[in-house]
Amino acid sequence: MILPAQEIRRRCASSAPMIWPFVERDIVRGMSFGLSAASYDVRIAENVTIDPGEFVLASTMERFCIPNDVLIVAHDKSSWARRGLAVQNTIFDPGWRGYATLELTNHGRSSLSILAGDPIAQVVCHLLTEPTTQPYGFNGMGKYQDQEAGPQPARDDGGSR
């Protein structure tokens, strides 16, 4: 099941907000961000210019604290996708905390300049049938747990996630 707006709002108003800062809905440079009917549009934390065929990492302005009964998937934001920008479909596991690093690729023919604060991706929150018994970080497996702001490169630590 996908969480509707009212459930995302409720989970973001808790003492451990699922997404912070939470914005009901707003617009910047003609693009919406914040809560949608059944998703949440996140913003980029830094300025980036992506040339055609180029791949870059970028961070979200929002921090996540995902409950053990929710899995979040990042998807393209259609306003950027129509210009050739792909956001790799990153999964944020139940139990994960931190600022999300997004993987961005420009498949278009022109360079794309994205400013800090611009809406960049849409995240969809999926409800598990029950809380997982193996949340992110379980048994020390969670090399990206409590990820800090700013894009984080891949980490190799002997095979843990």
AA letter at 126:
H
C-beta of residue 44 within 8 angstroms of C-beta of residue 114: yes
Write down the catalytic residue from 7, 46, 54, 103: 103
Q: Does a structural domain hold residue 151?
A: no
**Length of the chain as a residue count:** 161
- DSSP-assigned letter for residue 78: H
Question: What pLDDT, in 10s, does the model give residues 23-66?
Answer: 999 999 999 999 999 999 999 999 999 999 999 999 999 999 99
- CA–CA gap between residue 98 and residue 60 (Å, rounded): 10
Q: Does a structural domain hold residue 158?
A: no
Q: Does a structural domain hold residue 62?
A: yes
- In terms of residue numbers, what domain contains 47? 5-132
Model confidence at 112: pLDDT above 80: yes
- CA–CA gap between residue 53 and residue 110 (Å, rounded): 10
Q: Does a structural domain hold residue 103?
A: yes
Number of structural domains (the chain) is 1
This prediction has a pTM of 0.90
Query: The CATH number of the domain where 26 resides is what?
Result: 2.70.40.10
Q: Does a structural domain hold residue 148?
A: no
Contacts for 158 with CB less than 8 Å, ≥ 6 apart: none
Q: How confident is the model at residue 83 (pLDDT cuts 50, 70, 90)?
A: very high
Tell me the mean pLDDT in the region 89-98.
Answer: 94
Assess whether 103 carries a catalytic annotation. yes
